[in-house]
Structure 1
Amino acid sequence: MRVNPSKLLLPLLTLVISLIMMSPLIFSVLASFMNELEIYSGLLRIPTRISFENYYDVLVKYKFAKLTINTTLITSIVVVAAIPVAILATASLTLKRIRFKRTILTVCVIGATAPEIMLMIPMFSLMSDLGLINNFLSVILPYTAMTICFDMLVLYSYQRGLPSEFIEAAYLDGASDWYLIWRILTPLSKPAIMSAAILTTVFTWNSFILPLVLLPDPDMATLPVGLLRFSGQYLVNVPLLLTGSIITSFPMIIFYLIFQGYVVKGVTFAVRE
């Protein structure tokens, strides 16, 4: 049986591009098991011995285990707080005829896309006045507000495509608004809710600017901020920096691989309108 060479070209090209794209990750994983001498003597070689000393130093000496707990706590609270509020707010836009609906959605777009660097000084001033500097609430509150805006866009874009017959039939049967939201609209919107929760998780986990400014206490830092500990004024501890990067990114890589279908749906729904 003859094989058409043209049919092999695309898979081979895809494999080569994938390896090129993954090469920084592969190098980081290999380098996390090396010391500085091994890294500088040969960047792309396999380590001669497997040592977990870097992981011990990062997790214990540099307290990345504590930072992982901090990041997980902040991310979990933001997701748990943002998703129910977004569900209720979006349901009001879907079920009711509200004046200035487009204005509300425009505000959501602005809130979801506002760069963190723009919020840095106003947020620091506000949280300082409230006495919340070095308090997890100083990060949780703004990220919850920002992600609510984004989650509303994802949910509203999805719910606009749902068959209206379900809602109309429920109204004819005398269903209340609460029944419609929790028994009809929310189950039908499960894919969008899942994608919104996943995107909120990834965004909050990788946040950097506000935790850096609002949580100056080293013991309250998050994982992305903790990576600064390996960079000095003149020197960078490359093995520990790469090890810290692996510890920081590995949970989100696994998380994304498991739920990537929902992530793609969420992005599609968010930009569809």
Structure 2
Amino acid sequence: MGEGNSIQQQDGMIPIEDAVAIARLLGEVAGHDGDVNARKRLLMRRLKELTGADGWLWSMTFCDHSKEQPMSVGVIHEDLTQSQFDGWVEASQTCKLPPPEDAPLTVEMAKGRHYTRTRDQLVSDDDWYNHPTVKKYRLDRGIDDFLYSIYPLLGGVEMCSAIGLYRHVGREKFSDRRRRITHIVLSNVDWLHFAGLPEHRDNAVPQLTPTQRVVLVHLLDGRRRPDIAEAMSISENTVRDHVRSILRFYDAKDQLELVCKFRAGNGMDVEQE
């Protein structure tokens, strides 16, 4: 499908081929018998195709309203290079100058409703392309335009299911049509948003230091300690100290148990006997 509308729309309705594609996508995901993460990956692969995205990520995000900064954990992602994913983590957690979309995203999150926004709805071209954090952690790593959909959980303010779709540098922006497709799809999978709720549901994540939050994201992504040290340009001993503090904080004996706490116990969307 092109970026424009190929079939004449009336009364704000989406084109019929979009509606058919959405119905097929939702039906395929509903009929999939994998665990919650497998279903999420299937949905996002199909949504990536429908929206012409180059990569995606899905995270549980906590909101620190005092700092206007969202904090994400429990991330799954595909088609982002390790450098691109590392840049996203670092920019969102440790930079002294946060990405320019953080403040408007936090304002929207505080409203406690599902919303979907293109990059230029949140940040102007001038602010985006001249922002040093964007240049260093996004553009220089090959990532440019984005489309975010935020789905509120647990009362709608402190925690949300956050989905990001990304395009490489040099590609056109996401259109309003792609935004509407994304919003409709993600509005119809509330069971999948809630199925991924971590066992640890309180506001503990904001109590970690920014560096510990980055280490936590890497641990939940399955990274080994030497790889985390290399990605963060710190020593393995420093990583080991952070990991020890994180495990103690969440009362987990090892990385596997920590992951389980953030993936609905056993990572499945059904309860065990």
Q: Same fold (TM over 0.5)?
A: no
TM-score by length of 1: 0.22
| Higher helix fraction (1 or 2) | 1
Structure whose alpha-carbon radius of gyration is higher: 1
Greater RCO (CA < 8 Å, at least 6 residues apart): 1
| Higher strand fraction (1 or 2) | 2
